[in-house]
Structure 1
Amino acid sequence: MKLSRKLALAVLPLAAILAGCQSTGSSSSQAAAPAAQAQQIQVANVEVFAASDKVVKGYRAVKLNEKQTIYVANEPVFTRADLTAIEPVQDNQGRAFVRLQLNENGVKALNAVPANRGFVTVVGGQVASLSGVRDGNNFLFLTRDTQTAQAIVGAVTGQQPAAK
């Protein structure tokens, strides 16, 4: 539990830095119908950035704490536009993940990332995970628990989880 708190405190500065990388809508959104604008407000963007614990040319340094710095790509590997599905999943060890199923462009972009790179997942302008893995046409990122995974899926799809 203490590790989760330390990680959460460490990624807050990262969230602020990466917020500048978040994609913005076009200026033509002012002419969009009110229903379309409401839909845009209700869903969160997803961006996955390549990252490394070693210096990489073209990546920016992000200090997590006094002893740890990671290097994050300036442009996302893929975004919400490259998703075909999103769902919360759990592995056989009980760890909670969010599975992002990717379209052909997303799969190509993910496969182009060198195997020695990690990933930073940003949802709605906030860092959601520093742990991500490739799985065929899918990308999975670790979350704190199943409730967090469900909340992320709900934010991205615009659907609130069913009350229990």
Structure 2
Amino acid sequence: MLYLMELWESIRDFLSTGGDVLYFVMGALFLMWVLMIERFWFLTAVFPKMKKDIIAQWDARKDTTSWYAHKIREAWISEAADKLNARMLLIKTTIAMCPLIGLLGTVTGMITVFETMATQGTGNPRLMADGISMATIPTMAGMVAALSGMFFATRLESKVKRARDKLVDSLPHH
């Protein structure tokens, strides 16, 4: 329990040094990971059952060679692909937003530096350093968030493609 309290303290300190924009980076990061975990869960728990049902329906058909049968097969594959690719665009968009939110933090931090210089002058380097820190930390946080998401999103995308290809291979057309 003490470890969790210390962890929360360090997170709170980090958020305070980077300004309010870090809350938006944290929100985008949380959303991105919830979406990616949901997609991994779909691929491992839901899609195998769906694939099995589609294969069973295809195997139960008497006609698998006619034009109509091929169109039904394509429709089933298309529906499965839509379900596999659901929320992938949202994940990619969230990844792309993280550095942009961080840059917003840079702008707001630099405004703080300029306000400090305007009111206090350039004689107080400590106040300027706090503003510069507030400007650089959100950018770093946004980049780290995007990099972590990009790696796993690429893996997720390849798993989705592989799952679709395996479904196509499981539905032979004669």
- TM-score class, shorter-chain normalisation, is under 0.3
Q: Which has the larger Rg?
A: 2
Scaled by the length of structure 2, the TM-score of the pair is 0.21
Q: Which gives a bigger RCO, structure 1 or 2 (Cα 8 Å, sep 6+)?
A: 2
- Higher share of residues assigned helix: 2
- Higher share of residues assigned strand: 1
